[in-house]
Amino acid sequence: MKSKLIVVAISAMVLMVGCTNQKPETPKEQEAELAFPKGEIIANNNFTGTAWLQMLVNNDSTYNTSIGNVTFEPKARTNWHKHPGGQILLITEGRGYYQEKGKPAQLLHKGDVVRIPPDAEHWHGAAAEYSLTHIAISPNTDKGSVVWLQPVSDEEYNR
């Protein structure tokens, strides 16, 4: 009986030492797991909450397309807006919503693709308890850039 207690005590000590020697990942190590960098905090009035942007392809006259990696913290979202050339969203992480004016919001998950028609008034962002990351592709930028509209109210978001 005494030898069983010693074995249990030693096993417990080995487990505790193993657990305490694990160092937490640093932000750089966590970011290294991402397909693209998180980017910089978006500092304008076109978003509610905190969102980050890393431009992947800047618009030019050859491709007429801009591509950015956008990450939203929980509840963060864009204002209502529209793109004269349309937009495509590729959901790469998390959960969130996309809503076109006059239609119900769609729940988004990793792997979803959202095709937004030209000039469709819409918003997109993270769910209440999840962050959301998507690749935002804005094609046909020769037709114009994004047109920002009013914020999405908490009442609209909570519906």
User: With a threshold of 0.95, does the pTM exceed it?
Assistant: no
Separation CA 103–CA 97 (nearest Å)? 12
Tokens of 52: 């980050």
Residue whose entry in the numeric block shows the structure tokens 């193993």:
18
Nearest to residue 48, comparing CAs of 159, 149, 118?
149
- pLDDT truncated to tens, each residue of the chain (159 aa)? 554 444 444 444 333 444 444 444 444 544 457 789 999 999 999 999 999 999 999 999 999 999 999 999 999 999 999 999 999 999 999 999 999 999 999 999 999 999 999 999 999 999 999 999 999 999 999 999 999 999 999 999 998
Separation CA 97–CA 105 (nearest Å)? 6
Asked if the structure places residue 12 within a domain, the reply is no
Asked if the structure places residue 21 within a domain, the reply is no
Give how many domains the chain has, as a whole number: 1
Do 114 and 124 meet the contact criterion of CB atoms below 8 Å apart?
Answer: yes
Domain extent, residue 91, equals 27-158
Separation CA 24–CA 129 (nearest Å)? 23
Asked if the structure places residue 20 within a domain, the reply is no
What is the domain-level CATH number for residue 43? 2.60.120.10
Do 31 and 38 meet the contact criterion of CB atoms below 8 Å apart?
Answer: yes
